[in-house]
């Protein structure tokens, strides 16, 4: 099972002039914990039960850059698969202007040897992206095309939501798949939810820091670039996104099964104001 590093961060593409001119609040430094459970399974011989947890920390601003730590532990059970445990640990740092992105991910699956991906991506000339990896092997290569990093992506999707945009497309690089993968993404943004309403919210989402903060339902499909014609998403992510970058009500859809993520804890961290959001 694989999860893109941008799962809890965001989605987006180049926006129209209306969105580009929108003023958004700064992204909020925070720590959040989500409990995972099985939402649905399409195969009677596949996943029958699931549990897990996501722990996520986000700090920084557009002057100093953005640091992220992410851990997801998931246990899947089923008659044919037995019990399988995956553990994904990620740390990233993104330049505040979207010029560079450092990533390190360690993943294990049911006791197998861990897999390490470690590297850095920088903007090259034109639309190129220069990637240097230290693991799983030392390498140096370029990826072509207009590509967004995760936090840059997050800002774009929020600006699009505020501008009333409903569809956002983007090519996203997050360091996954040995640091060589670029995903084509399509985000669908729903109508803004009532900022002053707490009906249906988890206890952790009812705190004062989120009161009156606009939020939108978002669904993102991630596609790999192989093949031509109509493509099936590698996976889909749904969540409710606040203007300050916090997410709740997660759904991780892997095709054969989907997981629900319920916010259990939310801690707002100290902010360090910057001249730009």
Span 121-164, pLDDT tens digits: 999 877 789 999 999 999 999 988 789 999 998 888 999 999 99
Of 78, 57, 39, 83, the closest CA to residue 270 belongs to: 57
276 within some domain: no
Are the CB atoms for 239 and 56 separated by under 8 Å? no
The H or E element that residue 157 is part of is helix 150-162
186 within some domain: yes
Please say if the pLDDT value at position 2 is more than 80.
no
Of 200, 174, 205, the closest CA to residue 28 belongs to: 205
Of 259, 275, 263, 262, the closest CA to residue 1 belongs to: 259
Structure confidence at residue 195 (pLDDT): 73
138 within some domain: yes
Q: How many angstroms separate the CA atoms of 79 and 83, rounded?
A: 9
Backbone angles phi, psi at 37, to 5 degrees: -145, 160
Q: What is the pLDDT of residues 200-224, one digit of tens each?
A: 899 999 999 998 999 999 999 999 8
Full-model pTM: 0.87
12 within some domain: no
Q: What is the pLDDT of residues 92-121, one digit of tens each?
A: 999 998 999 999 999 999 878 899 999 999
Q: How many angstroms separate the CA atoms of 200 and 70, rounded?
A: 26
pLDDT band for position 196 (50/70/90)?
A: confident
Structure confidence at residue 79 (pLDDT): 80
122 within some domain: yes
Domain count, the chain: 1
185 within some domain: yes
Structural domain containing residue 35: 17-266
Counting every residue, how long is the chain?
277
* Percent with pLDDT over 90 in the chain: 62
106 within some domain: yes
10 within some domain: no
């Amino acid at each position: 099972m694989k999860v893109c590093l941008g799962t809890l961060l965001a989605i987006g593409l180049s926006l129209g002039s209306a969105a580009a001119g929108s003023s958004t609040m700064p992204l909020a430094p925070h720590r959040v914990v989500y409990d995972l459970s099985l939402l649905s399974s399409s195969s009677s011989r596949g996943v029958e039960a699931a549990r897990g947890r996501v722990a996520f920390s986000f700090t920084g601003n557009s002057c100093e850059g953005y640091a992220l730590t992410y851990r997801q532990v998931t246990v899947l059970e089923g008659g044919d698969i037995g019990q399988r445990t995956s553990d994904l640990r990620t740390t990233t740092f993104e330049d505040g202007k979207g010029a560079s992105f450092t990533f390190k991910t360690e993943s294990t699956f049911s006791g197998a040897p861990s897999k390490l991906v470690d590297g850095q991506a920088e903007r090259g000339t034109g639309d190129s992206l220069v990637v240097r990896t230290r693991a799983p092997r030392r390498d140096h290569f370029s990826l072509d095309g207009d590509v967004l990093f995760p936090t840059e992506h997050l800002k774009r999707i929020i600006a699009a939501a505020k501008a009333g945009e409903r569809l956002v497309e983007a090519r996203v690089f997050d360091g996954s798949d040995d640091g060589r993968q670029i995903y084509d993404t399509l985000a669908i943004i729903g109508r803004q939810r009532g900022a002053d309403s707490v009906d249906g919210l988890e206890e952790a989402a009812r705190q004062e820091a989120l009161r009156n903060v606009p939020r939108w339902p978002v669904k993102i499909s991630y596609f790999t670039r192989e093949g031509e014609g109509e493509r099936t998403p590698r996976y889909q992510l749904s969540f409710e996104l606040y203007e300050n970058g916090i997410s709740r009500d997660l759904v991780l859809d892997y095709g054969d099964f989907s997981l629900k993520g319920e916010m259990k804890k939310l801690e707002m961290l100290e902010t360090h104001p910057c001249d730009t959001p």
